[in-house]
Amino acid sequence: MFLQRSLFVMTLSLSALTALPLLAQERVIGLEARQELGLTVYQNGLTQVDEVRWLPLVEGENRISLTGVSNQLVLDSVTLGAADDLDLVSQSYLPANLTRSELLKQAVGQRVLLIREIPETGESEQLDAELLSMAGGTPVLDLGDRIEIDPPGRIALMTLPRDVPGGLRAEPALNLTVDSRRSGSGELPLTYLTEGLGWQASYVARLSEDDRLALTASVTLNNQTDVAFHDAGLRLVAGEVARNQMPRPTMLRASESMAADSMEQQEMGAPVSRADRYVYELEGTVSLQPGEQQQRRLFALEDIAAERIYRFDGLATAGGGQPDRPVSAGLHLAFVNDGETGQPLPAGTVRVYDRGEAKEAPLFAGEAPMDHTPEDGEVTLRLGEAFDVTATARQTDFERLSEESFEAAHEIVVKNAREMAVEVEVVGRMPQGARIREESAESEMEGAGRPVWTLEVPAKGETTLTYRVRVER
């Protein structure tokens, strides 16, 4: 590893280098010793890694350096599994330091070479220099007759740094000290939590002309760690878990195409309720490369009864302020997650397609977020606006009763340009102290200050809603 200066010039543009040996009493256990791997992935960017590695042990203290672990592991979550003969004494995480920046930091105060090209001749020259500083990641060199800050060219080390704590490492390592009550080869069952690996659900919903819904659920796995996970068993947990410092989950957008049907399908077992959450277990294994996003089909539900809802939210008020032009109804799609098709639905984005006529291509109708929905739960998705269902609101009367109260009458005309009759919801937004005195259709309260009128509007026709409200402050 160490060569004479005349033969050895190590430029720091190399992409990979071999690590120096660790201390003699440490055993390096790499991925070739891994026997089992399981991933339990949560939706908030957290994953529980369970693995088993085969390793030689001596009775008493053993120092083990595990490579191939996540660079985003939560160190104080490291635990040993069911190992009667082993006790975990201590653990530490050492990042890779056989990198350009780390090697230059270790070489501060040493002689180096600055290699750069002479513009006039195109040849390279080598200048002896002393590396004075790497503060802020910027090299400062003493060239004898001048000091150069971040000079052009390449910096080469005369030798690798010595006496680096823990040795030089080309990849991160989890260092464990374990106490063994026997000698010989054995299994090391290990569990730890890591950030940077999560999943998000997405759905493709196809709506037929008779409002029957087919729902295909997919999962997008996202590996933002710097290690690969090969042939891992996979469990997906739907539901948030409490943490002291909750990271923001990565919001993923799966393909908006209809590719879910042609996606390679691996069977998911039925979701199992555990610890107030639902766990989906994938049959077979999964492999994830660093930075990879991978989508897999989760399940498919057919023949769900759905309902299109036309809704004007906040159009009905107590005073003035209504729009002076027609407004379009919000188009909502609602269904109940029950019956033979019902099962827990993880939170995710639902993309809805209208199937249309038999020979027509499906038409994207909109997308909306869906919260975690238990079996028998109701789902309502706002897909956009329905331009053929409009309404106009106006104030028809106003009477000041006192400085603290007034009455106002209003009229809302709802028009339907469709070829079929529709049911429309008009949702009011009333201040505290408001009371409806008169109304042409009976309302129901959806919440404080939110009366809801449900109106039948004929095809190519209109329906008028009138109401009178008193406000006393």
Rounded Cα–Cα distance for residues 130 and 136 (Å): 18
Q: Would 4 be classed as within a structural domain?
A: no
Residue range of the domain that includes 125: 100-157
Residue 353 has, within 13 A of its CA and on its CB side, a CA count of 18
Indicate whether 104 and 172 sit together in one domain. no
Q: Would 1 be classed as within a structural domain?
A: no
Q: Would 397 be classed as within a structural domain?
A: yes
Indicate whether 288 and 426 sit together in one domain. yes
* Amino acid 157: pLDDT: 86
In 10 A of CB 411, how many CB atoms?
Answer: 16
* Amino acid 81: pLDDT: 77
Rounded Cα–Cα distance for residues 450 and 387 (Å): 24
Sign for the pseudo-dihedral over CA of 357, 360, 366, 367 = positive
Indicate whether 440 and 359 sit together in one domain. yes
Q: Check if the beta carbon of residue 220 is closer than 8 Å to that of residue 295.
A: yes
Rounded Cα–Cα distance for residues 345 and 335 (Å): 12
* Amino acid 212: pLDDT: 87
Q: What is the pLDDT of residues 38-63, one digit of tens each?
A: 999 998 889 999 999 998 888 899 99
Report the CATH number that the domain containing residue 136 is assigned in CATH: 2.30.30
Q: Would 162 be classed as within a structural domain?
A: no
Indicate whether 232 and 289 sit together in one domain. yes
* Amino acid 5: pLDDT: 32
* Amino acid 163: pLDDT: 66
Which residues of the chain are modeled with pLDDT < 50? 1-24, 246-267, 275
Q: Would 333 be classed as within a structural domain?
A: yes
Indicate whether 123 and 265 sit together in one domain. no
Indicate whether 88 and 150 sit together in one domain. no
Across the strands, what pairs with 155? 114
Rounded Cα–Cα distance for residues 205 and 171 (Å): 44
Indicate whether 65 and 128 sit together in one domain. no
Q: What is the pLDDT of residues 397-441, one digit of tens each?
A: 999 999 889 999 999 999 999 999 999 999 999 998 899 999 999
Rounded Cα–Cα distance for residues 78 and 191 (Å): 6
Indicate whether 255 and 298 sit together in one domain. yes
Indicate whether 343 and 380 sit together in one domain. yes
* Amino acid 374: pLDDT: 84
Q: Check if the beta carbon of residue 196 is closer than 8 Å to that of residue 88.
A: no
Report the CATH number that the domain containing residue 456 is assigned in CATH: 2.60.40.290
Indicate whether 181 and 83 sit together in one domain. yes
Total domains present in the chain: 3
Indicate whether 215 and 230 sit together in one domain. yes
The H or E element spanning position 281 is strand 277-288
Ordered DSSP codes for 152-181 = SSEEEESS--SS-TT---SS-EEEEEEEES
Indicate whether 87 and 115 sit together in one domain. no
Q: Would 70 be classed as within a structural domain?
A: yes
* Amino acid 279: pLDDT: 87
